[in-house]
Amino acid sequence: MCAYAATPPCDELPPPEALADFSRRVFLEGTRLYRDLPWRRTRDPYAVLVSEVMLQQTQVSRVDGRWQRWMERFPEVSVLADATSAEVLSEWQGLGYNRRALALHAAAREIARLGRFPREEAGLIALPGVGKATAAGVRAFAFDLPGVYLETNVRAVFLHEFFPEAERVGDRALVPLVEATCPPEDAPEERGPRSWYFALLDLGAELKRVLPNPTRRSATARRQSPFEGSRRQKRAELVRRLLEAREVGLGGLALEDATLALADFERARGRSAPAPSLAEELLVELSHEGFCEVDGDLYRA
């Protein structure tokens, strides 16, 4: 794939003919590698936003199925806006990073308040939990508008093509290339931003499958800390217990029960029980973040 092997300085782009050749090859490979994913069959900005949030730090195989189920339960942004936090968290279970669910819920409420779905980058970024990449994804896939969608698979293609030997390549060097190659708003539909980024995503996934992952040479690459035994895992278990208490009709989760549950959870995995104070610390933390509320001596989802 790589045809432009020199590493361009941050303030200098490859020649126009090199960029044009790169674009032709990406579209060609993208057609060959195209993945017919369910969220690609819609231009509904709400449905696209849900897919973009679900796909953050989560494999496509885990999202396929869960996105469809979510859209069945919350088919419109107004339905999600009217849901309770507990209903949202319950549907999100198994996708990880529960904060994303609450942020998506808050974004839906803000969109409902506005009475319209933002199209411009500034309006999208103003929504809870929406950053530049997510905003660019919504703009491209829902509205076919140009932008810098620097997602991990997109990053893989540009690193492989333009920085084949470089290490610790920062996004500052990639952004001008992504910006220069993204088709304009008036491009034909088959060569527009939506099709362009689908092609980049599918080519990037293939490169990561058949080669040493190019994104490991990115300055943004970070090795994620293990989930097993982590504070994140303990928080997730308490969220699960809070939702379970709600589903079986209990008034909430008592601190004593949460402490015992967390101790049993850790022992079942061959670890010692955590300090008794940890359950309360985590529950207070979760209540401050909107995962639950305190009702007397109980924590309620």
Active site residues: 52
Alpha helices in the chain (DSSP H): 16-33, 45-54, 60-63, 66-73, 77-82, 85-92, 98-114, 121-125, 132-143, 152-162, 171-181, 193-210, 231-247, 255-268, 276-288
φ, ψ (nearest 5 deg) of residue 225: -65, 145
- Tokens representing residue 105 in the block: 């819920």
- Tokens representing residue 291 in the block: 């995962």
Contact 200, 155 (CB under 8 A): no
Tally of CA atoms within 13 A in the half-sphere of 261 that contains its CB: 21
Unique residue bearing structure tokens 């968290």: 89
Beta bridge partners of 254: 298
C-alpha 78, offset from chain centre: 21
Neighbours of 26 (CB within 10 A): 22
Alpha helices in 130-192 (DSSP H): 132-143, 152-162, 171-181
